[in-house]
């Protein structure tokens, strides 16, 4: 497939290509241009040229185009989901969820377009003020490979509704569904240049977007180290930044929890998308009174999970997205095994020697009695590995939950209101779920504290972040 710049499919100036492989088989799926600085400049020029007319439209008109695009996405959701599974690996039902999630986001922003509002301030004899919101101009977006469709929606929906134009770079392993969706948005009525997709590496295309002086705001989702680098590179031009940099979410299960429900929550919370989710359950703390029963049920449930090609039926877990990601996870587990830092209760191996050996599969893994210094506890584990720790009380659980540089999400599983209140007040995270984990509908603000990032995606909060206030002061 080709890049999309100025409403056209474009080959790129260099005629170099990136191969996109199916993570379930290692086979070549397609190739996309390996873009350059010049391609980013062309995309920014197209976005600048399109900005004036797009910004002048009413929010309601822009919303109608998003709404129309959502309908086309729903009509084509099966084909889009299939493509997503082929390039990303996740089971087809998860891809369908994600594609529908993209449509939900566009519909949410289309819905609030009818409520665009400002502010009026009465100052008394000195005058009155009218405060309105206006778009920022050309914005940049850099998205990762774990949830390329959903995260594209989180950026495209509010940025376009607010009246901005956009230059977006997908991850090199998952550009295809993004390109298809951009074509759909164009066909729904975007003028050429409003949404531009430049494919290529983070080093060239990513950094060219970050440093381009005409890009006023940048929204990035990905690794902490990359996010910090982006922050430094962008500081020269005083750009607005939204950084969503992952997390190490704790899940706390208290002794009054509904055990079966919490086991299901842990399985979905950790192993959805083969564990490659920023808000996945990455550390599980279980009250000692129920830990033996809980861990046994959890292990049995994990043993029953089916791993295989996401296009197959009855597959719970697909491959990881790349050989590199699997290697990272595999090394962490091996290190834990060799250093005797934990007990591997199940999993802890690839599918070598099976029909799946050419794919990047990793068997879902549960590790107990784990040392708190193990990398499985201290790092963001971006794969299907779950460390479980036993805690004597809520105080210890909260202390351990906060023992991280991240602060994206956390959950507590309990029936007790006082426990809920303490976790909500004391655990440092942008979202606290109770008897749930992972779900983030479009109306709910999403983002972290500490090293999990800056700013919020979703909801009115994201829309505000893609605009600035302008005040008319009427002096009587
Ligand atoms: P990256 O942060 O490298 O990649 C995310 C996106 O940023 C991709 O589009 C990538 O492009 C781009 N990028 C990479 N380097 C730069 C740069 N210097 N300037 C601008 N853009 C850049 O993450 P990885 O893919 O390397 O994953 C590493 C780890 O990050 C994972 O193991 C996981 O822990 C974490 N992660 C967290 C995510 C989250 O949702 N919070 C999502 C993805 C990863 P390209 O694909 O071309 O390299």
Q: Are 259 and 292 in contact (CB under 8 A)?
A: no
What is the percent of the chain with per-residue pLDDT over 90, rounded to a whole number?
94
Distance between CA atoms of residues 251 and 412, nearest Å:
6
pLDDT over 80 (residue 54): yes
Q: How far apart are CA 129 and CA 108, in angstroms?
A: 30
The CATH architecture of the domain made up of 3-245+451-474 is 3-Layer(aba) Sandwich (3.40)
What tens digit of pLDDT does each residue of 168-181 get? 999 999 999 999 99
Phi, psi of 235 (to 5 degrees): -65, -30
- In the structure, what pLDDT confidence band is assigned to residue 310 with cuts at 50, 70 and 90? very high
**Distance from C-alpha of 453 to C-alpha of 228, rounded to nearest angstrom:** 9
For the ranges 13-17, 143-147, 397-401, the lowest mean pLDDT is seen at 13-17
In angstroms, what is the span from residue 80 Cα to ligand 1's centroid?
23
Identify the pLDDT of residue 87.
Answer: 98
Q: Report the separation in Å between the CA atom of 420 and the middle of ligand 1, taken as the mean of its atom positions.
A: 34
Contact yes or no for 375/243 (Cβ under 8 A): no
Residue nearest to atom 25 of ligand 1 (CA): 144
Residues with CB under 6 A from ligand 1: 142-144, 146, 169, 171-172, 201-203, 206-207, 210, 221-223, 226, 229-230, 244-246, 278, 325, 328, 380, 382
Cα(8)–Cα(27) distance, rounded to whole angstroms? 28
Whose alpha carbon is nearest atom 13 of ligand 1? 202
Q: Do residues 249 and 217 lie in contact, with contact meaning Cβ atoms separated by under 8 Å?
A: no
Number of residues that this document lists for the chain = 476
- Reading phi first (left if > 0) and then psi (alpha if -120 to 50, else beta), residue 329 is in alpha
Question: CA 438, CA 432: separation in Å to the nearest integer?
Answer: 10
Q: What is the mean pLDDT of residues 277-300?
A: 98
Ligand 1 mean position, distance from CA 124 (Å): 52
Q: What average pLDDT does the segment 395-420 reach? A: 97
Using CA positions, which residue lies closest to atom 44 of ligand 1? 222
A 10 A CB-CB count for 182 gives: 25
Mean pLDDT over the full length of the chain: 96
pLDDT band at 236 (very low <50, low <70, confident <90, very high): confident
Q: With beta carbons less than 8 A apart as the criterion, state whether 195 and 186 touch.
A: yes
**pLDDT for 116:** 77
Q: Ligand 1 pocket test: pick from 16, 18, 144 the residue with the most ligand atoms within 8 Å of its Cβ.
A: 144
Sketch the domain layout of the chain as residue ranges: 3-245+451-474, 249-439
Q: Measured from the CA of 247, which atom of ligand 1 is nearest?
A: 41
Alpha-carbon gap, residue 73 to 79, rounded angstroms = 10
Between CA 159 and CA 190 the distance in angstroms is 13
Which residues are the active-site residues? 155, 244, 278, 457
383 with 362: CB under 8 angstroms? yes
Q: Are 151 and 143 in contact (CB under 8 A)?
A: yes
Residues 201-227 pLDDT 10s: 999 999 999 999 999 999 999 999 999
Q: Given strand 409-413, what is the order of strands in its sheet?
A: 343-346, 365-368, 385-391, 281-287, 249-253, 409-413, 431-434
- Looking at CATH, the fold of the domain delimited by 249-439 is given as Aldehyde Dehydrogenase; Chain A, domain 2 (3.40.309)
The yes-or-no verdict on residue 229 having pLDDT over 90 is yes
The closest-lying atom of ligand 1 relative to the alpha carbon of residue 227 is 2
Average pLDDT over residues 432-458: 96
Give start and end residues of each alpha helix (H) in 207-322.
Answer: 207-211, 224-235, 259-271, 291-303
Question: Ligand 1 pocket test: which of 35, 199, 204, 223 has the largest number of ligand atoms within 8 Å of its C-beta?
Answer: 223
Q: To 10 degrees, what angle do helices 148-161 and 59-75 make?
A: 160
Question: Would 3-245+451-474 and 249-439 be classified into the same CATH topology?
Answer: no
Nearest CA to ligand 1 atom 32: 382
Separation of CA 176 and ligand 1 centre (Å): 17
Query: Could you tell me if 34 and 201 are in contact, meaning their C-beta atoms sit under 8 angstroms apart?
Result: yes
Quote the CA–CA distance of 318 and 361 in Å, as a whole number: 7
From the CA of 325, give the closest atom in ligand 1. Answer: 32
Span from the CA of 435 to the centroid of ligand 1 (angstroms): 30
- Phi-psi region for residue 242, left (φ > 0), alpha (ψ -120 to 50) or beta? beta
With cut-offs at 50, 70 and 90, classify the pLDDT of residue 12: confident
Mean pLDDT value across residues 119-134: 95
| Residue of 33, 87, 149, 202 best suited for mutating to test ligand 1, as the one with most atoms within 8 Å of CB | 202
Listed residue (211, 226, 207) closest to 36, CA to CA: 207
- Closest Cα to atom 17, ligand 1: which residue? 202
Q: 116 alpha carbon to ligand 1 midpoint, in Å?
A: 34
Between CA 148 and CA 181 the distance in angstroms is 11
CA end-to-end distance (rounded Å), the chain: 59
Mind giving me the DSSP string for 348-398? --B-TTSTTTTS--B--EEEES--TTSHHHHS---SSEEEEEEESSHHHHH
pLDDT at 196: 98
At residue 354 the predicted structure's pLDDT band, cuts being 50, 70 and 90, is confident
Distance, CA 172 to ligand 1 centroid (Å)? Answer: 10
- Per-residue pLDDT tens digits for 13-47: 777 999 999 999 999 999 999 999 999 999 999 99
Report the C-alpha gap between 404 and 73 in whole angstroms.
39
Atom of ligand 1 minimally distant from the CA of 143: 9
* Mean pLDDT within 442-466: 96
DSSP assignment of 334-349, as one string?
HHHHHTT-SEEEE---
Residue 370: which pLDDT band, with cuts at 50, 70 and 90? confident
The secondary element (H helix, E strand) that includes residue 90 is: none
Pick the residue whose CA is nearest to atom 14 on ligand 1.
202
Region for 26 from its dihedrals, namely left if φ exceeds 0, alpha if ψ lies in -120 to 50, beta otherwise: left
Q: Rounded to whole angstroms, what are the CA distances from 35 to 11, 297, 316, 466?
A: 9, 49, 35, 26
Atom of ligand 1 nearest to the CA of 147: 40
Dihedral sign from CA coordinates of 96, 101, 103, 107 = positive
> Mean pLDDT throughout 460-474?
96
Query: How far apart are alpha carbons 55 and 135 in whole angstroms?
Result: 7
Asked if 263 and 301 touch (Cβ cutoff 8 Å), the reply is yes
Helix axis angle for 259-271 and 291-303, nearest 10°, is 50
């Amino acid at each position: 497939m080709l890049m999309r710049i100025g409403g056209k499919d474009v080959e790129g100036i260099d005629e170099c290509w990136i191969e996109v492989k199916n993570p379930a088989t290692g086979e070549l799926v397609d190739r996309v241009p390996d873009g350059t600085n010049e391609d980013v400049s062309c995309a920014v020029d197209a976005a600048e040229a399109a900005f004036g007319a797009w910004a002048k439209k009413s929010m309601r008109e822009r919303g109608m185009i998003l709404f129309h695009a959502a309908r086309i996405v729903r009509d084509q959701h099966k084909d889009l989901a299939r493509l997503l599974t082929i390039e990303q690996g996740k089971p087809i039902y998860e891809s369908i969820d994600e594609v529908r999630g993209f449509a939900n986001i566009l519909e949410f922003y289309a819905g609030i377009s009818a409520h665009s509002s400002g502010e009026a301030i009465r100052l008394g004899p000195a005058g009155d003020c009218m405060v309105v919101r206006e778009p920022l101009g050309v914005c940049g977006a850099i998205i990762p490979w774990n949830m390329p469709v959903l995260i594209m929606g989180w950026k495209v929906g509010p940025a376009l509704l607010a009246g901005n134009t956009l230059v977006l770079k997908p991850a090199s392993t998952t550009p295809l569904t993004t390109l298809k969706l951009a074509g759909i948005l164009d066909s729904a009525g975007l003028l050429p240049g409003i949404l531009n997709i430049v494919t290529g590496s983070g080093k060239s295309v990513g950094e060219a977007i970050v440093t381009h002086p005409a890009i006023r705001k940048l929204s990035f989702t990905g690794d902490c180290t990359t996010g910090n680098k982006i922050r430094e590179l962008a500081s020269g031009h005083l750009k607005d930044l939204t950084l969503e940099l992952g997390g190490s979410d704790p899940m706390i299960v208290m002794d009054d929890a509904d055990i079966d429900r919490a086991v299901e929550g842990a399985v979905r919370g950790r192993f959805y998308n083969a564990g490659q989710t920023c808000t996945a359950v990455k550390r599980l703390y279980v009250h000692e009174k129920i830990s033996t029963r809980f861990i046994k049920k959890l292990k049995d449930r994990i043993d029953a999970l089916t791993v295989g090609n996401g296009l197959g039926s009855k597959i719970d877990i697909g491959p990881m997205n790349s050989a590199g990601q699997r290697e990272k996870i595999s090394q962490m587990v091996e290190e834990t095994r060799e250093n005797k830092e934990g007990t591997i209760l199940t999993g802890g191996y690839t599918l070598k020697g099976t029909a799946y050996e050419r794919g990047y599969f990793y068997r879902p893994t549960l590790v107990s009695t784990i040392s708190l210094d193990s990398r499985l506890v201290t790092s963001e584990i971006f794969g299907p590995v779950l460390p479980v720790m036993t805690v004597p009380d809520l105080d210890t659980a909260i202390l351990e939950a906060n023992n991280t540089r991240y602060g994206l999400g956390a959950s507590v599983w309990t029936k007790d209101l006082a426990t809920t209140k303490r976790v909500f007040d004391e655990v440092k995270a942008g979202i606290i779920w109770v008897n749930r984990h992972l779900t983030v509908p479009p109306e709910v603000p999403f983002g972290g504290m500490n090293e999990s990032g800056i700013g919020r995606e979703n909801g009115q909060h994201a829309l505000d972040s893609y605009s600035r206030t302008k005040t008319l002061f009427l002096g009587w």
